[in-house]
Structure 1
Amino acid sequence: MVNARRKAIQSLYRGVCTVIAWESITNPVTKITTQQEVIKFVNEPCKLSQEKQTTTSDTGGPAIITKTTKLSLAPELDVPAGSKIIVTQDGVTNEYTRSGKPDVHMDHQHIMLEDFQRYA
C-alpha cells in the first residue's frame, strides 16, 4: 500500500522516463559476450527539475552559468551509473545520463543528471 506522503510526492510527477543501460550480454548459443543496450524500465512516472546557478571567479572574469538537472522517481527503481535516461515532461523529450549516487529517501529518490553525450 502506498502511504499518503508517497502519494502526495508522486502527485507532483509530470513526466515519464525510460532507463537504458549498456550491459554485457552472453549469447546462450554461441557463448559470445557482447555489449548491448538493455531497457531497465519504460514510462516510469517521474519529475524533472532544473536549477540555474551562477558563479563568478576571483579573477573578475565573466560569470559562469551552469545548470543542475535533478530527476525524482520511486525509491525502489535501480538506475545504474552511466545509464541513458530518456525523460518526457511537458511535451518535451530529452536524453540524460546519471551522474553520481542517487539520494534515496523513504518515499522517493533524487538522481542528478547530465546531458547525454555517449555511454561512459
Structure 2
Amino acid sequence: MYKGQSGMWSWLFHRISGLGILLFLFIHIVDVSMLSFGPGVYNQSVVLFDYVVVRLLSLALVIAVLYHTFNGIRIMAIDFWRKGSRYQRAMFGIVLAATIIVFIPMAYYIMGPAFQWLTQAPHAATTGH
C-alpha cells in the first residue's frame, strides 16, 4: 500500500476523474437525445446550463478532463520512459500544476456569465434617462 504518497493519490484522482467523465457522457447522451422531442423541449433543457450549480458541475468536468489527460500522459511516461518511475513524484506535481494553470482561465470563462450582474452598471443611473 502507498500509505498516502503521490502514487496513491494519483491513482485515486485518476479513477475519480474517469468516473466523473463517464457520468458526464451519460448526461450528454440524455441532453442530445432531447433533440428527438423537438426544438422547444431541447431549448428548455439547455436553459439548465445557465444555472450557477450547473456551471460549477461544468467546472468539475473541466478539471476532471484536464487532470485525467495530464495524468494519462504521466502514466505513459512512467510506462515507456526508462527513468519514469524514478521521477513519478515530480511528474505528479507537474500534473497538478498544469491542471491548475490551464483550469484558471477556463474557470473564468465558464463562471463569467454567472457573475455578469457584478459588472453591469444600472443604465438609468449612468445614462441620465
Greater helix content: 2
Structure 2 length normalisation: TM-score? Answer: 0.24
Greater strand content: 1
Structure with bigger RCO (C-alpha 8 Å, 6+ apart): 2
Structure 1 length normalisation: TM-score? Answer: 0.26
